[in-house]
Amino acid sequence: MAKLTPDEQQAILDLIDAGHTRNDIARRTHRSPGTITNIARANDRTFDRTETETATRARQVDLAARRAELAAQLVGDAARLRAQLWEPCVERKAMAVAQGGNLGSVVEVVEVHHPRPPFADQQRIMTCVGIAVDKVLAIDRHDNQADEGLAAVDRWLREMIGEAVG
């Protein structure tokens, strides 16, 4: 693109002084944002960042709300998973059944009823519960770095393991 004339540079400076954003000025003048930034710096100008700061704060609030909702869902997921540790379950197994003689065998699905999940399944459930709890704690640490800490999560954990909340 052609070099800026003094009149074009002044027009850009006037737009900066009027409070327009860098990208808005770039669109209006058909120049790159980098060119606008360079002109501003060369002339000791800065851009009004109020709109950007406001939008950033609003986005941070929205993301915090989404993290809180996710944490609540993870707590519910962990509770439902943990409850499965002690619930009856049905395991479906494929078994080859001989039909006798030269007829060979067929595969049938057999249901095995358990009073609670087998140990290996309980381990997997607890691993999933642990991951969910870890993620809730990580969200809490992220959102409450300077706050009281993990009190709410501690209360929830006590309730999960059946201890009285004090």
Helix or strand (DSSP H, E) at 80: helix 50-83
- Output the pLDDT for position 2: 73
pLDDT tens by residue, the chain, 166 residues:
678 999 999 999 999 999 898 999 999 999 999 999 999 999 999 887 787 788 888 999 999 999 999 999 999 999 999 999 999 999 999 998 887 777 778 889 999 999 999 999 999 999 999 999 999 999 998 988 754 545 666 666 666 676 554 4
Output the CA angle 81-82-86, nearest 5 degrees: 110
Q: How far is CA 118 from the centre of its chain?
A: 32
Full-prediction pTM beyond 0.75? no
CB atoms within 10 A of CB 45: 14
Nearest to 97 by CA among 106, 109, 110, 88: 106
CA atoms of 132 and 79, how far apart (whole Å): 10
What are the DSSP calls for 93-119, one per residue?
Answer: EEEEEE-SGGG-EEEEEEEEEESS--H
- Output the pLDDT for position 162: 65
CA atoms of 124 and 131, how far apart (whole Å): 11
